[in-house]
């Protein structure tokens, strides 16, 4: 009887451990999406005569994971990969790259490649029929050093400048559509027209705060810009500003203007999860990290919103889509060179 009960306990504990170990961590799910997206948009290797030890999607996925874990340093990323076997298994890494390899691949990635990655991620997050009509925009600043608040307070150093970023957010899916990187301190009004030009979607209504009042931003047309006008001299006198104030009050009563807080929530998520300081020294590398941070946020929207079951369905959908594109590409190659492609099989 005692042996029977012990056998039952061991069987129950083993089954319980199997069920418990079926759960996937958030970093692993993030890396699966990042690796799949980079494989669909980037070439396997940067050059045909490169050593071919690590592929370009593997290294860029590791850089995205670095940003996702509070923008850790490249040395910490190497130590993290050395101590985690599941992460290496997802990427198919036989050995962990040196930290300088991650730094070099981040320097070599171009803005066009980052745009292709973002377009693929937005294709997953936002379909054409799911695009919202209401967009929100706001700006924020990032520190250019990693000094603590206590150090800056005791040393008496004042930050004379920082990196300023403007964001445009789709309020329906909470996906980051476009961004503009500049220098601060500066006004918010100068980045609005650049945001609209870089956006792949055409919004119908845009909501923003009073900081965007200026630079000719108050105008009437599409998209409809809901900007609360600043009372210069204590009153609003011109006809355009009176009409802009009426549009602002109508949007506030209808609840449209309240969606502006989603953009501030998105900025809070980026700074809390990915950090509010940039480690890189060169201006070009700083812009690349901030651009990749926008890609990381959109992948985070996919990972956090789906759950494990919907995440598996998403990967199945992406795999079928990639198979379809692969079949189409092979058919095009066969039609161009039929004899060469048939002879390659034999």
The answer to the question of residue 317 being in a domain is no
pLDDT at 2 over 90: no
The answer to whether residue 119 sits within a structural domain is: no
Whether 69 and 164 share a structural domain: no
- Tell whether 254 and 185 lie within a shared domain: yes
Same domain, 105 and 134: no
Cis preceding linkage at 125, omega within 30: no
Residue after which a domain boundary falls, among 260, 280, 300 = 280
Is there a single domain that holds both residue 45 and residue 176? no
- pLDDT above 60 (res 12): no
Averaged pLDDT for residues 73-83: 94
Point out the domain boundary residue: 109, 142, 170: 109
Domain shared by 271 and 148, yes or no = yes
**CA distances from residue 46 to 88, 113, 232 in whole angstroms, order as listed:** 21, 12, 55
Write the CA distances from 262 to 168, 171, 268, integer angstroms: 11, 7, 10
pLDDT at residue 346 tops 50: no
Instruction: State residue 21's pLDDT score.
Output: 53
Asked if the structure places residue 225 within a domain, the reply is yes
Whether 337 is covered by a domain: the verdict is no
Q: Is residue 52 part of a domain?
A: yes
pLDDT of 285? 94
Confidence of residue 334 (pLDDT cuts 50, 70, 90): very low
Q: What is the pLDDT of residue 1?
A: 52
Is the pLDDT at 250 greater than 90, yes or no?
A: yes
Q: Residue 218 is encoded by which pair of tokens?
A: 């108050």
0.85 surpassed by pTM: no
Q: What is the pLDDT of residues 107-132, one digit of tens each?
A: 999 999 999 999 999 988 886 556 67
Q: Which of 280, 306, 341 is the last residue of a domain?
A: 280
Residues 80/69, Cβ–Cβ less than 8 Å: yes
pLDDT for res 287:
95
Q: How far is CA 214 from CA 219, 231, 295, in A?
A: 11, 12, 30
| 168 and 101 assigned to the same domain | no
Asked if pLDDT for residue 260 goes beyond 80, the answer is: yes
Whether residue 267 sits in one domain with residue 134: yes
Of 15-24, 69-78, 168-177, 286-295, where does mean pLDDT reach its minimum? 15-24
Report cis status (omega within 30 of 0) of the bond before 185.
yes
Mean per-residue pLDDT, 280-293: 94
What integer pLDDT is reported at residue 345 of this predicted model?
A: 35
Omega of the bond prior to 118 within 30 degrees of 0, cis?
Answer: no
Judge if 145 and 253 occupy the same domain. Answer: yes
C-alpha torsion sign, points 261, 262, 268, 272 = positive
Q: Do 86 and 157 share a domain, yes or no?
A: no
Same domain (yes/no): 151, 75: no
What's the total number of domains in the chain?
2
Cα–chain center distance at 115: 11
303 burial class (0-12, 13-18, 19+ CB within 10 angstroms)?
buried
Residue 345 domain-assigned? no
**Rounded to an integer, what distance in angstroms lies between the CA atom of residue 189 and that of residue 196?**
12
Pick 13 or 41 by higher pLDDT: 41
Nearest CA-CA partner of 37 in 295, 327, 328: 295
How far does Cα 149 stand from its chain's mean position?
27
One domain for residues 262 and 149: yes
What long-range pairs does 21-25 form, CB within 8 A, spacing at least 24? 23/308, 24/308, 25/86
> What pLDDT digit, counting tens, does each position of 193-205 carry?
999 999 998 889 9
Range(s) of the domain holding residue 33: 2-109
Residues 99 and 138 in one domain: no
- Please say if the pLDDT value at position 247 is more than 90: yes
Q: Does 116 fall in a domain?
A: no
């Amino acid at each position: 009887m005692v042996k029977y009960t012990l056998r039952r306990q061991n069987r129950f504990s083993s089954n319980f451990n199997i069920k418990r170990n079926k759960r996937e961590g958030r970093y692993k799910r993030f890396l699966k999406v990042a690796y799949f997206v980079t494989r669909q948009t980037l070439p396997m290797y940067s050059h045909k005569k490169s050593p071919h030890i690590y592929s370009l999607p593997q290294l860029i996925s590791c850089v995205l994971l670095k940003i996702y874990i509070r923008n850790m340093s490249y040395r910490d990323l190497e130590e993290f990969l050395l101590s985690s076997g599941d992460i290496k298994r997802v990427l198919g890494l036989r050995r962990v790259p040196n930290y300088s390899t991650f730094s070099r691949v981040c320097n070599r990635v171009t803005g066009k490649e980052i745009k292709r990655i973002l377009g693929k991620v937005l294709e997953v997050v936002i379909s054409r029929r799911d695009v919202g009509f209401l967009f929100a925009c706001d700006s924020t600043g990032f520190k250019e050093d990693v000094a603590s608040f206590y150090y800056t307070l005791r040393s008496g150093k004042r930050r004379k400048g920082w990196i300023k970023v403007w964001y445009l957010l789709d309020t329906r899916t909470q996906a980051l559509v476009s961004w503009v990187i500049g220098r601060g301190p500066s006004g918010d009004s100068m980045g609005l027209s650049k945001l609209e030009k870089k956006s792949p979607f055409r919004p119908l209504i845009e909501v923003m705060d009073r900081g965007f009042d200026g630079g000719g931003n108050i105008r009437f047309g599409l998209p409809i810009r809901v900007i609360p006008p600043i009372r210069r001299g204590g009153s609003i006198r011109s006809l355009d500003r009176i009409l802009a104030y009426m549009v602002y009050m109508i949007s506030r009563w209808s609840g449209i203007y309240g969606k502006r807080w989603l953009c501030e929530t998105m900025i809070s998520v980026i700074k809390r999860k990915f950090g509010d300081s940039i480690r890189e020294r060169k201006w070009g590398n700083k812009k690349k990290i901030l651009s990749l941070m926008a890609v990381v946020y959109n992948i985070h929207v996919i990972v956090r919103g789906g759950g494990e079951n919907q995440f598996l369905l998403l990967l199945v959908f992406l795999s079928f889509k990639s198979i379809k594109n692969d079949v189409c590409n092979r058919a095009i190659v066969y039609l161009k060179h039929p004899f060469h492609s048939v002879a390659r099989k034999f």
